[in-house]
Amino acid sequence: MPQSSDAIDPLRWLVYLLVGGPLLAWLFVTRQESLRLLIVLITLIFVQDALAGRRYVSAFSVAPSFMLVYVALFSQIVQRRIPRVGVFGPLWMGFLFLAAVGAVVGSLGTGLLLKNIDAYQGVYFEGFFIVLFGLVAVRRDTDLVLFLRQQATFIGLAIALIHFATTATGFRFRNADVTSTDVYYGGVFDNSNALAAYYVMLIPVALSMLARERLSSLWRFFTVVALIAMTGSLVLTGGRSGLIFTVGMCFIALTWSRIGLARGIAVIAAAGVLAFIGFEVMQSVVPDRWLDILGVAEEEGLQSNRFFLIQRYGLMMLQHPVGIGLSVPNFMMKIAEYDIPGVLSSHDIYIDMGLQTGILGLVLFVAMIGIVLIRNRRAFALSADHDQREALLYLFLLLLGYLSNGIFQPIFAVYPKLNNILWLLCGLSLAASDRAFAAHRATSGGERNAEPASLVSSAYAQRA
């Protein structure tokens, strides 16, 4: 009988201790902002799904020492000024309130209050904490660009290599996601859908780096290697929506990069060559898994139950405008009523959001995300600084990849690793936009102040 995901695995605990302990210490002492951000990202992805453990109310999970991460991040927040975020702040407060209402309403008469509170803290409160950290994490756009490069190159490469290793060896922690037992196992993300969703975010950024920036030979080498590895890992997930949205986001990235027709043709040709090489590598390195994936892909084609799930869960959302609750048991109690075949998510982040926080909560979520994207594009258009523009573009590609692929994936309600990455990116984008607006105001103000001064000087010259 498979163990609960809350069961303590001594090996996993030891890895958390040996890897997480030094990361936490580094988080307290390092002064380099890009490294601090990288530590937070590594903690979120490789060490633990949530910062303080899965069980908040009833008990602590495998690593109670990770409460120290809260202390470390909070110390950064209180030391720095929160940038201007406009109406994003009030909207977020309303969003948190509606999520709490959904937790309470979903618990009435069910005995699920503790589970809903756990889900609220893991998905919503922790997201609020992460977005606050993102707002104050970086003061210089040079450090932000460096962090985004590291995420799209070194983090992406590490995730892909771990995925290859788990696919080849079959090794997993004892309390890894027991439902992900097929050929689509997703490495450090447990689920292949979540892994593919992250590649939808990372691969277009890595491609844009190669097309837009004058990278050193070493950076370019690692970026190319990471692109090849991430693409191979993406194919190995068997995620059809991940593949489709990755291709679409790559076209968007290349369009905004303005690389020209000749370089565009060269990129397409190189992609074709790499695809052929990847096919041969997969056939040689993991032949059994590769044949399984090809067989399933040929059998299923473009068929999917996503549209049926969206239709049934969408009806559920409309009939429960204040939500049904945040925990998995809340969804379990409803699926039979709506003739849903045992799938505990609509596989659409927007419908899942509406079911958890109510329709008004969904409206606030869309409004907040819209504000982040609109401010990002406005700041990009106003900025003349190279690093600032690169940072804003990469953040926009990351956010757009998450939000577009989320139409067919349950990546918000089900995978807290990606939740926290989403909110971290929102905070970073809002802060970068604020810096761009402030620089533009300073430049515009300087130009306006210069005109009267020149007119006064001219008048004195004429009098003389």
Q: Residue 386's CB: how many other CB atoms inside 10 A?
A: 13
Give me the mean pLDDT over the 28-33 stretch.
72
CA 21, CA 26: separation in Å to the nearest integer?
Answer: 9
* Position with higher pLDDT, 181 vs 454: 181
Tokens standing for residue 354: 């509406």
* Position with higher pLDDT, 34 vs 261: 34
Residue 174: CA count within 13 A, CB half-sphere: 15
Residue 334's contacts (CB-CB under 8 Å, 6 or more residues apart) are 316, 324, 340
Tokens standing for residue 142: 């040079």
Q: How many residues does the chain have?
A: 464
Rounded to 5°, the CA angle 46-48-54 comes to 160
Give the SS3 label for residue 83.
coil
Note the pLDDT tens digit of each residue in 184-196: 667 788 778 888 8
- Enumerate long-range contacts of 157-161, CB under 8 Å, 24 or more apart: 157/222, 157/225, 157/226, 157/229, 157/230, 158/46, 159/45, 159/187, 159/188, 159/189, 159/195, 159/198, 159/230, 159/233, 160/226, 160/229, 160/230, 160/232, 160/233, 161/229
pLDDT of residue 243: 84
Does residue 95 surpass a pLDDT of 90?
yes
Q: What percent of the chain has pLDDT over 70?
A: 71
Return the CA Rg of the chain: 24
pLDDT of residue 76: 67
Note the pLDDT tens digit of each residue in 379-433: 999 998 999 999 999 999 999 999 999 888 776 666 667 888 999 999 999 999 9
Give the SS3 label for residue 306.
helix
Q: Cα–Cα distances in Å, from 293 out to 31, 66, 183, 225?
A: 45, 37, 7, 23
Confidence of residue 453 (pLDDT cuts 50, 70, 90): very low
Return left, alpha or beta for 53; rule: phi > 0 is left, psi -120 to 50 is alpha, else beta.
Answer: left
Note the pLDDT tens digit of each residue in 218-242: 999 999 899 988 988 888 787 778 8
Note the pLDDT tens digit of each residue in 2-20: 334 444 566 666 666 676 6
User: Is 28 in contact with 65 (CB distance < 8 Å)?
Assistant: no
Does residue 181 surpass a pLDDT of 60?
no
Most confident of 57-66, 197-206, 293-302, 407-416: 197-206
Rounded to 5°, the CA angle 119-123-126 comes to 115
Closest by CA position to 424, among listed 148, 192, 194, 199: 148
Confidence of residue 460 (pLDDT cuts 50, 70, 90): very low
CA 24, CA 63: separation in Å to the nearest integer?
Answer: 12
Give me the mean pLDDT over the 43-72 stretch.
52
pLDDT of residue 452: 40
Mean pLDDT of the chain: 78
Note the pLDDT tens digit of each residue in 321-363: 999 988 888 888 888 888 888 778 888 899 999 999 999 999 9
What pTM was computed for the model?
Answer: 0.84
**Maximum Cα–Cα distance for the chain, whole Å?**
97
Does residue 304 surpass a pLDDT of 80?
no
pLDDT of residue 127: 83
Closest by CA position to 410, among listed 358, 346, 328, 359: 346
Give me the mean pLDDT over the 433-462 stretch.
60
pLDDT of residue 128: 83
DSSP 159-188: HHHHHHHHHHH----TTS-TT--STT--GG
Does residue 454 surpass a pLDDT of 50?
no
Helix intervals (H) in 66-184 = 67-79, 88-107, 113-119, 126-136, 141-150, 156-169
Does residue 59 surpass a pLDDT of 50?
no
CA 405, CA 244: separation in Å to the nearest integer?
Answer: 9
